[in-house]
Amino acid sequence: MTTRLTSGPNGKDVILIASAEELATPSKITLPEPEPAPGLIHPDGSINWGCPCLGGMATGPCGPQFREAFTCFHYSEAEPKGSECYEKFSVMQECMSNYPELYGKDDDEESPASMVGVGADGDSPGMDAKTEEPPAEKVAVASN
């Protein structure tokens, strides 16, 4: 006979007792299929700030600036996408420069303009237009 202690209603303990015969048979419980974890964008079109793909950027010391800049980019209808977000990305970059131990400093660091697709060459988007995710090298720099 096996005894197991589990949590019940109102935080009270419940003791379950099962015989060896009951434990020897496979469970007949059917669990529902797990829902797929949301990616960067929720089905309703809102931004999933808890997405691991953001590497904690939304919650760090520059999280508010990141969220503001990324929100601007996500909802941007300008051409090129995000071009009206330059100031918000500048504010975010300035904040990040105050925390080099968290955000690092890269030798080939780009300007905020190039992060939103308005770089000097005019065609170097900072975010993938299809997935709206930062390029891997930017996430790696940001998560150092």
The whole-angstrom separation of Cα 125 and Cα 135 is 9
The answer to whether the CB of 2 falls within 8 A of the CB of 23 is yes
Residue 129 maps to which CATH number? 1.10.287.2900
Structural domains of the chain, count:
1
2 within a domain of the structure (yes/no)? no
H or E stretch including 7? strand 2-7
8 within a domain of the structure (yes/no)? no
pLDDT at 37: 78
| Residue 140, token pair as written in the block | 């790696």
112 within a domain of the structure (yes/no)? yes
130 within a domain of the structure (yes/no)? yes
Range of the domain at 98: 52-142
Q: Is the pTM of this model over 0.75?
A: no
11 within a domain of the structure (yes/no)? no
Buried/exposed 92-101: b ≥16 CB within 10 Å, e otherwise: bbebbeeeee
pLDDT along the chain (144 residues), means of 10: 62 81 86 85 92 91 96 95 96 96 68 44 40 43 39
